[in-house]
Structure 1
Amino acid sequence: MRRTTNEQRAGELPGPRRGKDGGVVPVLAFAGITVAVMQTLLVPVIKDLPALLDTDPADATWVMTATLLAGAVATPIMGRLGDLYGKRRMLLTSLAVMVFGSLICASTDDLVIMIVGRALQGFAMGAIPLGIGIMRDVLPHEKLGSAMALMSSSIGVGGGLALPAAALVAQHADWHALFLGSAALGVLAMVLTLLVVPEPPLRAPGRFDVVGALGLSLGLVCLLLPVTKGSDWGWTSPLTLGLIAASLVILVLWGLFELRSPAPLVDLRTSARREVLLTNLVSIMVGVAFYAVSLVLPQLLQLPASTGYGLGQSMVVAGLCVAPLGVTMMFVAPLYARISARRGPKVTLMLGMLVIAVGYGAGLGLMSAAWQTVVIAVVLGAGIGLAYSSLPALIIGAVDASETGAANGLNTLMRSIGTSLSSAVIGMVLANTSVRMGAVDVPTMEGFRTSFMIATGAVLIGLVLAAFLPAQRPARPVLLAGSAGDAAAAAEPAPVAAPVGAPERRTPAPAAESAPVAAPVGAPERRTPAP
C-alpha cells in the first residue's frame, strides 16, 4: 500500500503514481472545460439580461461582474489551500461551490439572488491551477508537457464550445436551463474526479494566511470593480478614482505584510524573480488578446447587413463561427509538447505570440464574410493555444513543487486581470466609436479595427517581455510535511533543472540522511534509500 505523506520516511521523495494515470488528464481537462462553460454560458443572453431580471442595464452587468470578482479572489486562495491541504480536495470543493451556485441561479429571477449565485459559480476558477498542480504531482515526465498544455487551454476550449451550445439552448428553451446544464456538468466532473484522480501526497509546510487572503481579496475587488464598471460610473468619477487609489494602498500594505509573513499566501520573493515576474506579465498580455476576439467577432457577425459591414448572422451561427477558436486551442496541445521538447516553453510562448499578432494583423482586412471570421478564429486559436500551453510550464519550472498550486493560481489571476482590462478598454473603444441607428447605438467597423490594433499592441509587448525570459531555471528543494528532513531541507544545495522538455540527465542519489529534493520538471524521478 502506498504510504501517505505523514507516513513517509525522511529522505524519501514521493514520485508520480504510475499505472493509474490513464484517465487523469481527460478528467482534469473536462473539469477545466466545465469551468469555462460556466463563464461563457450567459454570453448569448447578455443583451437580454435587463428584461429577464426586470432591472436596468447597469445593474444587470453585476451578474457578470460578480463571477469575475469571485473568480479573481478564489483563484490564488484555492491554489494555496490546495498546496496546504490537498489539491484534489480543493478541486472538489471548487466544483461543489459552483454546482450550488448554478442551482441557485437556475431557481430565481431576482437580481440579488442571481448575483449571489453567479459569485458562487466564480469560485470554480480555482480548478485550473489546481488541475495543473495535480498533473505535476501525479504524472510521469513524458506526459506532463502535453497534459499541462491541454489543461491550460481548456478555458478557451470550453468557451469556444459553449458559445454555440448556449446560444442554441437560449433560443429554444428557458434560459434557466443554462444553469441546470452547468450544474450537471459540475456534478459529472466531481464524480469523475472522485473515481479517477488521486490525491497527491505532497503538502506545503506552514498554515493558511488568513490576513493575507483578506487583504488580497479586498485589494483585488477595489481594483477590478472600477476596471469593469468604469464605463458605467465614469472613468474620472470620484468613485472610480477612489477605488483605484484604495486598491493601490491596500495592495502595497498587503505586499509588505506578505514579505514579513513566515507562511505567506503568495511568496512575493519568488514572484519577483525574473522568470516568474515576466511570465505573469506576459500572461496579462495574452489575456488581453484572448478576450478581444471574443468581444469583437460575435458582435460583427450578429450586426445586421443594413449597417454596411455587419454580417447578419444568427446567434447560433455566430457561436459556430467563433467555436474554432477553442477547438484549435485543444488541437495544438500535442504540437506544443513536441515544440517545447525540442526548443523549450520560452520558444513556444514566443511562437504563439507571433501567431496571435499575425492573426490580428490579418483580421484587420478579413471582416467582410463569415468564413473570414472562421479563418481569424483558427489562426488566433492556434497562437493563443501555444501561448497558454507554455505559461504553466514556465511557472512550474521556476517554483518549488510545494508552491505549484499557489504559483499557478497567481498566474491564472494574471490572465483574468488581462481579460478584465481587455473588456474595459475594448468596451470603451466600441462605445466611443458607436453610431446611432434607429433606437440603438451599434459599434462601427472603426471600433472593431481599433480593438484588433489594441490586441496586436498587447501581443507585441508580451513578445518583447517573453524575449527576456531565461532559458533555464534552478530547481528548489521541496519540504514534505511530516518528514524528519524538513528543517534541513533549506540548507541542501538544489540541483540545476533542465528546461521543461529537455533531455533527461541523472545525478547521483543523495545519502539517506539528506533532506528530500524534488526532481526538476524535465528530470527523471529518483528516490533516496529508505533509512
Structure 2
Amino acid sequence: MSVPPAARTDTSSPNQGNPGKWIAATGFLVLLTELTALGLSLVSPALGAFAAKYNTTQISWMIAIFLLVGAVLTPVLGKLGDRVGKKKILVATAFAGVVGSVVCALAPNYGIMLLGRALMGASGTFVPLTFSLVRDVFPKKYRSLSIGLATNGAGVVTILGPFLAGFLIDQIAPEAIFWFYAALSLLGAIGTILFVPETPIRNRSAFDVPGIIGLAVGLLALMYGLTNISTWHLLSGRTLTYVGGGAVILLAWWMWERRAAAPFLDTRIMASRPVATVVLSSSLIVSTTMLATSYLPTMLQTSRSLGGDYGFGLDATGVAVYCIAGGITTVLAGVVVGIGSKRYGLRPFLLLSGVFAVAGTVTLALLRTQPWMPIVGFALVGAASMSMAAGAALIMQLAPAKSRGVSAGIQFAVQGVLGSAIIQAGGLILAGHVKAVAPTGAPVYSSTGWILAIGALGALIALAGIAIAALIPKQPKEAEAATETNELVAQPQPSF
C-alpha cells in the first residue's frame, strides 16, 4: 500500500523544528504521569501514622479508594478527552489532584481524608491521557520515546519515592506528603498549560450516558470485589455478589455498546484481532510485574530467624535500596522501546518483555538466599515493564484518531482488573502455605508457596501474554502511514 507524498500530512505543531518546546512538553507530561505512582509510594509508608491519628482499623482504604476511583475514571475521562480535548482533561485532573491533596492534608477526620484520596485517584488517568495526547500532537520522531518515558517514568518513583516519603514523614510530618503532592500537581498543571499543545482531534458523537454508567458501575463493583477477596475469602457471598455482579453488568454493558447508535466505545474496534491481542497480551505481562512488585517487600522484610528460607529482615529503607536496580531497568525499558521501535517495530519488544517477566518471576521465586538474588530478579521484572511502553504505543497506532483517549483508558482499565485478580490469586496461594506466624502477627510462607505464587503463577501469566502477543498481526509501516493520513489529513494544526 502506498500513500501519495502530498497526502502524508502530520498534525503535529508547526513548531516541531524547536526541540526545546517538545523537551519541555515531554518533561511536564512525564511529571504528571509520575504523580500516579507517587500517589501510592508517598502514602504507603505513612499508613501507620494516619491509622493512629484517625484511630481506624480501615486504613487500607487510603490505598483502595485511590485505585478504585482511578480504574473507574480512566476510560470515562479518556472519552471526555476525545470529545473536549485531552490537554483540558489533563489540566482539570491535575487541579483535582491539587484540591484532593490539600483536603487530605487538612482532613479533620477519616471520612474527609478518604474524600481527598478519591479526588487524588483521578490521577490514574494521567498515563493513558498523556500517551494518547502525545500520539495526537507530537512530531513523529519524538512520539515513541515520549510515550516510553510517560509509561515507564514510574521507575524514577520506584527509586526515589520511598526515600522521599521517609524524609517528608520523619523530618517534617506525615501531612507533608500531601502538600508536596499538591505542589507537584500544580507545577504539572501550569507546565502543561504553558508548554503542551492541545489536540485538534475531536469526537463529536452523541454522549452515551447509559454506556458510561454501565461501565463505571461494572468496573467499580468488580474492582471492589477483587480488592476485598483476601478479607472476605474467595467464595464468600460478598465476593461472589460484587465480582459476579460486576462481571454481569460489564457483559450487559458490552451488549449495549454493540447495539448503541453512538456507543461510548466502538466494540468492533476493541474486539478486532489487532487491538484485542495487544490489549490482552500487554495487560497479562504488566499484571505479572504487578504481582512481583506487590509481594517483593514482604519477601525482603521477613526475618530469616522466623524459620523460613527467605527474607533479610529489611526495613522500608532497606527495601527501597534493593528496588533501585528494578527502578533503573523500568526507566531504561521505556527508553529502549522508544528508540528501538523505530528500527524493529513494537511487537518484538512486547514479546521480549514477556521473556523478561518469566525470567524475573522465576528468579524471585527460586533464588532467595543471597542478597544479590532478589536484586537481579527485580531488575528483570523492571525490564519486563517495556510491555507498558510497547502496548501503549501499539494501541495508539491501531486506535482511530477520534477514539485514542477512550481506547487507552480501556487498556489501562483491563490492566487494572487483571492485575488485581492476579495479585489476589497470588495472595490466596500464599495463604494456603503459611508455615509460621511472626510475633507481630505477620505470616511466614513456605518455599513452596513462593514458588507457586510468584514463580509458577507469574511465569504462566507471562507465557500466556507471550503466546497472545505472537498473534498480533504485523502492521506494515506503509499501512500505518495510510491509516494516519486517512484519520488526520483533514484536521487543523495544534498550537501551543
**Fold match, TM over 0.5?**
yes
8 Å CA contact 2:356–2:380 kept in 1: the answer is yes
What amino acid is aligned across from residue 519 of structure 1 in structure 2? T
In the other structure, the counterpart of 1:460 is 463
C-alpha change, 1:473 and 1:230, in structure 2 (3 Å) is farther
8 Å CA contact 1:88–1:200 kept in 2: the answer is yes
C-alpha change, 1:322 and 1:115, in structure 2 (3 Å) is same
What amino acid is aligned across from residue 269 of structure 2 in structure 1? T
In the other structure, the counterpart of 1:448 is 450
C-alpha change, 1:367 and 1:52, in structure 2 (3 Å) is farther
Measure the CA separation in 1 of the matches of 2:393 and 2:77: 20
Moved more, 234-243 or 438-447: 438-447
In the other structure, the counterpart of 1:284 is 283
- Answering whether residue 374 of structure 2 is matched by residue 373 of structure 1, we say yes
In the other structure, the counterpart of 1:16 is 12
What amino acid is aligned across from residue 354 of structure 1 in structure 2? V
Aligned residue for 2:127, secondary structure, equals helix
Q: How does 1:507-518 map to 2 (within 5 A)?
A: 518=484
Measure the CA separation in 1 of the matches of 2:198 and 2:350: 30
- Answering whether residue 87 of structure 2 is matched by residue 88 of structure 1, we say yes
8 Å CA contact 1:24–1:196 kept in 2: the answer is yes
The structural deviation recorded for 1:159 is 4.1
C-alpha change, 1:520 and 1:331, in structure 2 (3 Å) is farther
In the other structure, the counterpart of 1:322 is 323
The structural deviation recorded for 1:274 is 0.8
8 Å CA contact 1:398–1:473 kept in 2: the answer is no
Q: 1:266-290: per-residue Cα shift (whole Å, max 9, x none)?
A: 2111100111111121233123212
What amino acid is aligned across from residue 73 of structure 1 in structure 2? V
Measure the CA separation in 1 of the matches of 2:329 and 2:344: 22
- TM normalised by structure 1 equals 0.84
The structural deviation recorded for 1:13 is 6.3
- Answering whether residue 411 of structure 2 is matched by residue 411 of structure 1, we say yes
Measure the CA separation in 2 of the matches of 1:228 and 1:413: 14
- TM normalised by structure 2 equals 0.89
In the other structure, the counterpart of 1:519 is 485
In the other structure, the counterpart of 2:349 is 348
More helix by share: 2
Q: 1:124-157: per-residue Cα shift (whole Å, max 9, x none)?
A: 1111111111111221111111111111113444
Measure the CA separation in 1 of the matches of 2:74 and 2:367: 36
The structural deviation recorded for 1:188 is 1.1
8 Å CA contact 1:322–1:377 kept in 2: the answer is yes
Q: 1:277-318: per-residue Cα shift (whole Å, max 9, x none)?
A: 111212331232121222222122222342253212221121
8 Å CA contact 2:10–2:489 kept in 1: the answer is no
Aligned residue for 1:519, secondary structure, equals helix
8 Å CA contact 1:100–1:120 kept in 2: the answer is yes
In the other structure, the counterpart of 1:270 is 269
What amino acid is aligned across from residue 459 of structure 2 in structure 1? T
Q: 1:97-124: per-residue Cα shift (whole Å, max 9, x none)?
A: 1121111111226222222111111111
C-alpha change, 1:360 and 1:151, in structure 2 (3 Å) is same
Measure the CA separation in 2 of the matches of 1:436 and 1:49: 26
The structural deviation recorded for 1:520 is 7.6
What amino acid is aligned across from residue 81 of structure 1 in structure 2? L
Q: How many residue pairs align between the two structures? A: 477
8 Å CA contact 1:348–1:387 kept in 2: the answer is yes
Q: How does 1:298-309 map to 2 (within 5 A)?
A: 298-308=297-307, 309=310
Measure the CA separation in 1 of the matches of 2:108 and 2:420: 26
Aligned residue for 2:480, secondary structure, equals coil
What amino acid is aligned across from residue 485 of structure 2 in structure 1? A
8 Å CA contact 1:39–1:159 kept in 2: the answer is no
C-alpha change, 1:120 and 1:207, in structure 2 (3 Å) is same
Aligned residue for 1:496, secondary structure, equals helix
C-alpha change, 1:424 and 1:46, in structure 2 (3 Å) is farther
The structural deviation recorded for 1:44 is 2.3
In the other structure, the counterpart of 1:116 is 115
Aligned residue for 2:366, secondary structure, equals coil
The structural deviation recorded for 1:528 is 10
C-alpha change, 1:338 and 1:418, in structure 2 (3 Å) is same
8 Å CA contact 1:35–1:158 kept in 2: the answer is no
What amino acid is aligned across from residue 351 of structure 2 in structure 1? M
Measure the CA separation in 1 of the matches of 2:466 and 2:49: 38
Q: How does 1:105-184 map to 2 (within 5 A)?
A: 105-108=104-107, 110-184=109-183
What amino acid is aligned across from residue 341 of structure 1 in structure 2? K
8 Å CA contact 1:52–1:109 kept in 2: the answer is no
In the other structure, the counterpart of 1:497 is 480
The structural deviation recorded for 1:470 is 0.4
Q: Identity rate of aligned residues, in percent?
A: 27
C-alpha change, 1:324 and 1:277, in structure 2 (3 Å) is same
Q: Structure 1 regions of 5+ residues with no counterpart?
A: 1-10, 475-494, 499-506, 508-516
